Amino acid sequence: MMTRIATLLTTVLLGTAAMAEDIKLAVTTSFENSGLADVLLPAIKEDLDLDVQLLVVGTGQALRLGQAGDVDAILVHSRTAEEKFVAEGHGTYRREIMYNDFVFIGPKEDPAGVAKAGSAAEALKRIGVVKPAFVSRGDDSGTHKKEIALWRAADLAPDTFGDWYREVGAGMGASLNTAAGLDAYVLADRASWLNFGNKADLDLLYAGDAALFNQYAFLAVNPEKHAHVRNDLAVQLEDWLTSPRAAELINGYTINGETLFIFNAKPE
């Protein structure tokens, strides 16, 4: 009996294979949910023979991972937090890669009349007046930070809101699921929304204000702080992400015919 179990176990356990060069990159949930990674990663593997291991977390946690040296580089979208990261010496600089935009999602009936708003601030003011259910990420992610900034721009303070303002403390997908269940308003990035499978009675209500643009930047972890990080690979990856080939793939990526990301990296 024991020998048979032992044989079975060894066959199962000896499954670890050796891997090529790999780099750990912390990215935001919105980037992963967009599906762009599925296009870029195979191309990176082909061009650089580099396995990019994605850690999909909120921007807050991504920056923490970079600070601790647990990843080699991060790709996030929260300018103030990124600049603080660089100022504290965890990274040497930030490199802008591309942008997409945020959109207001809500119930098709649109009780607050967000669709008729003229600007992002006006859309939020309308929500603040009618007080329909509103789902907030509440997880210190880039999207959450953006949402807070937008409320401030509309002269409203989310911490004074009542029960209708629900902080779920979850990723973009989970928040959209909650919004679908509650028939609530939610701020999402366009890519996650288009790729989201459980739309229920929700619809895209407002988009297009320049305040809703969402800039992604690449930050390599400072090798002087963490000697073990693969800065050489991070630099290779950065060069690739800012190359014409990446531009072509990023600009050419569409869902249902809609372009999601616009490449805007400047050559050094």
Partner 1 sequence: MNDILEGLVSAFWLVVTFDTDLMQISLRSLQVSLSALVIASVIALPLGTFLAIRRFRYRRLTISLLNALMGLPPVVVGLIVYILLSRSGPFGVLGLLFTPTAMIIAQVIIITPLIASITHQAMRELWAEYHDLLISLNTSGWQRIKTLIWDGRRNLLTASLAGFGRAIGEVGAIMIVGGNIDNATRVLTTAIALETGKGDFALALALGFVLIALAIGINISIHWLSRTEREGRW
Site residues (vs partner 1, CB under 8 A)? 1, 4-5, 8-9, 12-13, 15-16, 19, 22, 24, 29, 33, 51, 53-57, 67-70, 171-174, 176-177, 180, 195-199, 226, 228
38 or 83, CB closer to partner 1? 38
Cβ closest to partner 1, residue 126 vs residue 190? 190
**Nearest distance in Å: CB 225, partner 1:** 10
When the beta carbons of 107 and 128 are compared against partner 1, the nearer one is 107
CA distance 132 to 66: 38
In the bound complex, what is the minimum distance in angstroms from residue 172's beta carbon to partner 1? 8
Task: Decide whether 23 or 154 has the Cβ nearer to partner 1.
Answer: 23
CB of 157 to partner 1, least distance (A): 29
Q: State how far the Cα of 125 lies from the Cα of 109, in Å rounded to an integer.
A: 18
Q: Cα-flanking dihedrals φ and ψ of residue 168, to 5°?
A: -95, -15
Nearest-approach distance from CB 148 to partner 1, in angstroms: 22
Would you say how long the chain is, in residues?
268
In contact, 68 and 88? CB cutoff 8 Å:
no
Residue 22 is encoded by which pair of tokens?
A: 């790999």
Q: How far is the CB of 118 from partner 1 (least distance, A)?
A: 30
How many CB atoms lie under 10 A from the CB of residue 245?
A: 14
Nearer Cβ to partner 1 (4/266): 4
Least distance to partner 1, CB of residue 1, Å: 5
Radius of gyration of the chain (CA): 21
Nearest to partner 1 of 43, 156 (CB atom): 43
Beta strands in the chain (DSSP E): 22-28, 51-57, 73-76, 95-107, 134-136, 165-167, 185-189, 202-206, 213-220, 254-255, 258-259, 262-263
Amino acid at 45: K
The DSSP call for residue 221 is B
